[in-house]
Structure 1
Amino acid sequence: MMVAVCGPNEATPEEAELAEAVGEALARRGCAVICGGRDGVMAAACRGAKRAGGVTIGVLPGYDRRAANPWVDYAICTGMGEARNAIIVASADVVIAVGGGLGTLSEIALALKLGKRVVSLGSWALEDQRLARQEAQQLYRQAVTVDQAIELALAGVSRASPT
């Protein structure tokens, strides 16, 4: 199973700590981590996954693989800038958003439009009313702890996800 971990390039220390724990927990569950491959939350998630022996994939905004953080196993160069967010969430079975700015919000929105489960861990609080209009109310969940985020993300998601 491939899980996207999304969050800001300029992460706070708390966001980085959460992302590292998320990456480690996912790897311990046998999940590959896919992310934007750069710094902040992305690097922290990859670092945690590698510590647990996991596989990491970084979908980069530019053409230079050397721009990936040192914990990325497989760097995918896109030359697409922020548009790479669509590749990240389309490739994942589920998304965990840790903190985040507007790039993270775009990943959340794209994932929900694709019918993917999204778990927020200190990320955007979306209005139930708007989620209901998009028939995404059951897809978006808020978690308070890393363990809760992992459980919510992986509950009922199969490796043979249709999207």
Structure 2
Amino acid sequence: MSNDDFSSSPRKKQIAVIGASDPSASELQVATEVGSLLASKGVCLLSGGMGGIMEASCRGAFQSGGCTVGILPGAEGNQYLTITIKTRMDQARNVILVGSSDAVIAIGGGYGTLSEISYSLKSGIPVFGLFSWDIPGVIRCCSPGEAVQLALGKDD
């Protein structure tokens, strides 16, 4: 197989879903829906690979037949990952996670999520927020559908 075999197939978009490790029930529901919507659009979902928003979004994508990639702090991740990248870098993996994405969807979240948002914005990667940090640069969204649509760069 040559490199030319890959040139005709477009690369899948990679969207990171970030957020709270201890989210509310409504945030979990939103994350699951975001994951499912991303999978239905053929997007590869990236996450930190652990619990909370990360697991819920991966579950939604996985159950909808999508690709899920976990950029892990250690060797173990949630059960809905189709690909695991074991960085053993703890919080430093956040730079790898957002740097590997075309866009970021933030759902809720604390200071770890804020650091990922900061890395994204500093790198010019758009961030779409659902119940997340209300800071300059984060595009506030009202629904999972709106966040996914905007992250994909589609107005239809």
Structure 1 Cα separation of the partners of residues 106 and 44 of structure 2? 16
Query: How far apart in 1 are the matches of 2:95 and 2:56?
Result: 21
Q: Which consecutive residues of structure 2, in runs of 5 or more, have no partner in the other structure?
A: 1-12
Show the 5 A alignment for 1:6-155. 6-62=18-74, 64=75, 67-126=76-135, 131=136, 137=137, 140-155=138-153
* Aligned pairs, number: 142
Alignment RMSD (CA, Å) = 1.0
- Which residue type is aligned with residue 142 of structure 1? R
* Superposed structure 1 runs of 4+ greater than 6 Å apart: none
Give the corresponding residue for 1:134. Answer: none
Q: CA deviation at 1:155?
A: 1.3
Q: In 2, Cα distance between the equivalents of 1:151 and 1:38? A: 25
Contact 1:141/1:152, CA 8 A, preserved across alignment = no
> Which sections of structure 1, spanning at least 5 residues, go unmatched?
132-136, 157-163
Structure 1 residue 102, shift from structure 2 partner = 0.5
Distance 1:40 1:88 in 2: 16
3-state SS of 2:140 partner: strand
Q: Which amino acid aligns with 1:95?
A: V
TM-score computed with the length of structure 2 as normaliser: 0.88
State the alpha-carbon separation in 2 of the partners of residues 59 and 8 from structure 1.
16
State percent identity of aligned pairs: 42
Q: Deviations over 1:74-118 (max 9, x none)?
A: 111111111110000000000000010111000100000000010
TM-score, L = length of structure 1: 0.84
The 3-state SS of whatever aligns with 1:56 is strand
